Amino acid sequence: MASKTYTDRELMVTAAASEIEDSDTVFVGMRLPLIAFQVAVSTHAPNSMAVYESGVVRDSPADGFIHTMCDLPNLNRAVSTTGMIDIMSRLQRGDVDVGFLGGAEIDRYGNLNTTWVQGGEQEIRLPGSGGACDIACMADRTVLLMPHEPRRFVEEVNYVTSPGHSSDGSGRDTHPQAGGGPSALVTSKATFGFDDDGELYLRSLHPGVSESEVVADFPWEMNTAEDVDEGSVTTTAEPATAELELIRTFDPDGFWT
Amino acid sequence: MRYYMTGEVETIEQAVSRIDSGSSIAAGLALEHSIPFAAGHELLRQGTDDLTMIGPISDLLFDQLIGGGAVSRVRAAWAGNVSAGTGYRFREAVENGTVDVEDHSNFSIALALKAGAMGVPYLPTKSLIGSDIFERSDLFLEESDPFGGDQLALVPAIEPDWTIVHAQRASPAGDAHLWGNMGITDPAVGAAENVLVTAEEIVDPDVIKSDPSRVGITRDKVTAVAECPFGAHPSPVAGYYNRDNEYYLEYSTQTKTQSAYDEWADEWVYGVSDREEYESLVERELGITEPTIAAEVQYGQ
């Protein structure tokens, strides 16, 4: 196989961007989603709109690299710079189509932990929720992004910062939360969906990655698309040349990607 | 306790000296934008301690105050370093139990302050339930909507002793123009007993009155006003300077242990007497090179 012309994180960005549909209102979080929205709105989703919990609303990429949603290029020529209650109210009313979340730990139902993890004998304190719990509870669907590291995949998360689906097989039907819950997980090796019971299944493998290698990283028997009648496991699309050019424009030094 | 303004612009030393040890302080309210770092560093220099810090994400400000031993309690949704992830002083203090954390989501801290600002005891939300932020906390209650039946989380009001805001410009009376994203500035100002405004510029009241739609804080809430150019560095201020991203990455590597933090603080906090001297430590060019001039707005009659 020819050597890859892109990094794992660049592929995660384009896979995440492909989860954004045209005309979506997108709740954009920190890190890779900052780049993923800019790629999506520049390619297949020109009518999508980004809302950021800081109060920023955008319909176009920032004209300059951004570390955070509040860097001046993200404020400059925004659609609006409003406040958090305005943005979170849109989320609570059900007006946000998709939100992005990350996590230090995930279980099979998409519960995420970004607060406390166990490191050997010691509990390690992480920064916490930020807006993640709110997005997880109230967005119509969420897309989860995390590096593909076996220690992150657990039977039970140490702390539910961001609720996923119910563990009784009812997805979000009996869940106390208003939003639709997780719809996809993108790691640095594969993408996953959630079946009707709200459980993860393997959807696509990134080029060069084997199914046996991916499923072995989970402490439970990972279903595949075949197992849950969702077609077959496919190969994740590689970033197109135009997408890579955009990523490298938005993140010229590869800080995030 | 509510203090009253002297009616004069103060130095930041004078303004911050009004804040007693043991106070609760909301700060970092516009998330990564316009964080009042100068006021925070002045709190450290004055040795004000036993503080309860309230805010959504705080970025580095809470980490720095914790490193300096000023904080007993944090009521926040996220505390760390947005560029690098971990805030090592926060992490160590929480793991060692020297700082108590009340975990929130961004919306719950926003609603708590909004309830305070509205003068109601709590506000309901569809967020939180199903998370351990809710399950492991005694703060929130679950109730069914008396009109419909949905389960809701009730978020009790928070009323900080002080809210600190770094504004672009303010009048000597404390009326302030803010622009750029607002985060939870408005509810935090409304909920506070006292508001300290630090501003890039103190301007003639006529400047503020020429554009009342841009006023984010009015004088009736304000206890102290200080002129403090560069007062939000390393965070960005729309119209004034960009975020100093490298500073956040350097701070992360420089504060992994308490002794390393102490060295850092000796240079950046205790080693400077005022913000002008502080500015001389910053080598990177952060000025705005591509200004966007807003279209002129006309009021009148």
pLDDT digits (tens, 9 = 90+) for B219-253: 999 999 999 999 999 999 999 999 999 999 999 99
pLDDT tops 60 at residue A2: no
CB contact under 8 A, A160 and B132: yes
- Arithmetic mean of pLDDT over chain A: 96
Length of chain B: 301
Q: Which residues of chain A are within 8 Å of residue B104 when distances are taken between CB atoms?
A: 129
Contact A139, A98 (CB under 8 A): yes
Domain boundaries defined on chain B: 12-107+158-274, 122-156
Identify the residue among B105, B140, B141, B150 best suited for mutation to test binding to A, counting A beta carbons within 10 A and taking the highest: B105
Asked if B185 contacts B216 with a C-beta cutoff of 8 angstroms, the reply is yes
pLDDT for the residue A170: 84
Give CA angle at A99 (A96, A100), nearest 5°: 170
* Regions of chain B short of the pLDDT cut 50: none
Q: How far apart are CA B243 and CA B247, in angstroms?
A: 9
Task: Sort out which chain A residues have CB atoms less than 8 A from B87's CB and list them.
Answer: 127
The answer to whether the CB of A223 falls within 8 A of the CB of A206 is no
Query: Can you tell me the ipTM of this complex?
Result: 0.96
Q: Which of A63, A96, A125, A140 to mutate to test the interface with B (most CBs of B within 10 A)?
A: A125
Residue of B nearest to A65 (CA): B245
Q: 10 Å Cβ neighbour count for A196?
A: 12
Average pLDDT of chain B, as a whole number: 96
* Structure confidence at residue B4 (pLDDT): 63
Q: How confident is the model at residue A176 (pLDDT cuts 50, 70, 90)?
A: confident
CATH homologous superfamily for A8-250? Answer: Glutaconate Coenzyme A-transferase (3.40.1080.10)
* pLDDT of A70: 97
Chain centre to alpha carbon of residue A136: 11
B-chain residues near A88 (CB < 8 A):
106-107, 110, 127
Work out the number of other CB atoms within 10 angstroms of the CB of residue B90: 29
B32 touches A at CB < 8 Å: yes
* Distance, CA of A157 to CA of B135 (rounded, Å): 14
pLDDT, mean of residues A211-224: 97
d(CA A182, CA B261): 39
Span A165-169, average pLDDT: 90
**How many Å apart are CA A231 and CA A39, to the nearest integer?**
28
Tell me, what's the pLDDT at A99? 98
Q: CA dist A154 to A74, A87, A219, A222, B182, Å?
A: 36, 32, 6, 12, 38
Residue B99 CB contacts under 8 Å (≥ 6 apart), including other chains? B66, B71, B72, B73, B74, B90, B93
Interface test with B, best of A68, A82, A109, A112 (most B CBs within 10 A): A68
Residue with more model confidence, A172 or B24 = B24
Using the structure block, give the residue that is written with the tokens 């539910």: A160
| Of residues B96, B104, B236, the one with CA closest to residue B158 | B104
Q: How far is B75 from chain A (nearest CA, A)?
A: 11
Alpha-carbon separation of residue B142 from A25, B45, B124 (angstroms): 29, 42, 9
Q: Is residue B240 within 8 Å of residue B269, measured between CB atoms?
A: no
Asked if the Cβ–Cβ distance from B180 to A178 is below 8 Å, we say no
Looking at domain B12-107+158-274, its CATH superfamily turns out to be: Glutaconate Coenzyme A-transferase (3.40.1080.10)
pLDDT for res A1: 47
pLDDT tops 70 at residue A29: yes
**Chain B residues within an 8 Å CB radius of A92:** 107, 125-127
| Model confidence at A244: pLDDT above 90 | yes
Continuous segment of H or E residues that includes residue A171: none
